[in-house]
Chain A
Amino acid sequence: MSETVLPARLAEIREEFLELDEPDRLQLLLEFSQELPEVPAQYADHPEMCERVAECQSPVYIVIDVDDDDRVAMHATAPAEAPTTRGFASILAQGLTGLTADEVLAVPDDFPQSIGLTRAVSPLRIAGMTGMLMRAKRQVRAKRGA
């Protein structure tokens, strides 16, 4: 196991999942999917500014902001008919927003595999969340100090 220290909010989310049994983990993921905030108006009106996450089976788009203090905000949009994907996006948006760029880049790439959903959701579906995290990191690299 990697011993990298997870940022507090992501660690908390992982704890929340791991203390439940598998059916309840799905329910928690559903709750996350319902909490995915709307994207800010400037992105809602300009979907071309968002990046399609090709690893996900449903049309999900993410966009990362890095402000002058190097603080990251992640926004995402995914259709209501894709609650699993919305749940993944919501976990990452809640977990990454507010971190510094360095903290986001230090999040272990296998975080999606570590939250106890691989069997309940299937490895193939979890791959979509990994794709989302990779793309978020890439945007952080591209946008910091830009």
Chain B
Amino acid sequence: MTVEFDTTSPKFAAYSEPGRLVTGEWLQERLGTPGLVVVESDEDVLLYETGHIPGAVKVDWHTELNDPVVRDYVDGEGFAKLLSRKGISRDDTVVIYGDKNNWWAAYALWVFSLFGHEDVRLLDGGRDKWISEGRPLTTDATTPEPTDYPVVERDDSVLRAYKEDVLAHLGNPLIDVRSPEEYSGERTSAPAYPEEGALRAGHIPTAQSVPWAKAVAEDGGFKSREELDAIYREGAGLKDGDSVVAYCRIGERSSHTWFVLKHLLGFDDVRNYDGSWTEWGSAVRVPIVSGAEPGEVPGR
């Protein structure tokens, strides 16, 4: 059973898939609705425990979405177990929110999408906006009724790019969503994330630099359709029909941009390269460009 879309926001109405976002007001009115599961996914593994939206369950990307050994996501069986434990059914409406402007929420949404979970939405503005609007939080534990989520194998072919896919993609649009310093190669890790380093610095040849935060409005939600078009179409030169790959350092900030391109601006073929710079910047013999210019596709 799915829950109706949030049609209250004129901002959402202009996006290509308005139903992918919900407002705090809409969500608060519907908490506890059968068929609606609220999921919190944060960078900080304990933030949920300090207070969460009433009834929300936590999904942690490090300890629950990632495979504990291989650098990959859980498999179909692992995902089915996880969602069953969280009380999510295959046809439930899932609304995800989190800290850091929904970085990890967007990441979780993308992983849910790899498994083909159809109705998965973001709370616009995430945790911070919910709090700033004075909406309720609780430390009461959520005890979901376990479900029987089916085992569905992950499909990486449509939404996910591997390193080999990116090599084959060169010549098509790439969006680098890291900070300008990481793009130019002054540093290999984000200012506050030095442990996620790589051996070489710079960017993938021809990638346009569009830091993820450009898509975020002052209130922490997404910018309007018009503003986003100006950034990604006029600014970065994306055109309808383009095949686009977004990347960052480990794939979470680029999930945020992936969400914008795929669901708000309606680009059909957008993939997230989750290996991102921690893979590319340490891989042997892949082309790298340093400096502020995108650079050229190397001759093959």
Task: Find out whether the CB atom of A26 lies under 8 angstroms from the CB atom of B44.
Answer: no
Among A6-14, A55-63, A136-144, the stretch that binds chain B is A55-63
How distant is B73 from chain A, measured CB to nearest CB, in Å?
A: 14
C-alpha spacing A137/B68, complex, angstroms: 31
- What is the interface of chain B mostly: helix, strand, loop, or mixed? loop
Which chain A residue shows the least CB distance to B50? A83
Q: Tell me, yes or no, whether A127 is within 8 Å of chain B by CB.
A: yes
* Contacts across chains A and B counted by CB atoms under 8 Å: 57
Contact B62 A82 (CB under 8 A): no
Q: How large is the interface on A (under 10, 10 to 19, 20 to 34, 35 or more residues)?
A: 20 to 34
B99: chain A residues at CB < 8 Å are: 81
Contact mask for chain B residues 288-300; partner A; CB cutoff 8 A; 1 contact, 0 none: 0000000000000
**B194 and A54 contact, CB distance less than 8 A:** yes
With known contacts A84-B46, A87-B46, A57–B62 Cβ distance under 8 A: no
Contact residues of A between 47 and 77, Cβ < 8 Å to B:
54-59
Interface string of B195-229 (1 = CB under 8 A from A): 11000000000000000000000000000000000
Cβ of A83: which chain B residues have Cβ within 8 Å of it? 44, 46-47, 49-50
A30-B49, A55-B194, A127-B195 given as contacts; is B44 within 8 A of A85 (CB)? yes
A-B contact pairs, 21 of them (CB 8 A): A26-B45, A26-B49, A29-B46, A30-B49, A33-B46, A56-B192, A57-B44, A81-B99, A82-B44, A83-B44, A83-B49, A83-B50, A84-B46, A85-B44, A120-B63, A121-B45, A122-B63, A124-B62, A124-B195, A124-B196, A128-B195
* 7 A-B pairs with the lowest CB-CB distances in the bound complex, closest first: A122-B62, A83-B46, A127-B195, A84-B46, A84-B44, A30-B49, A30-B46
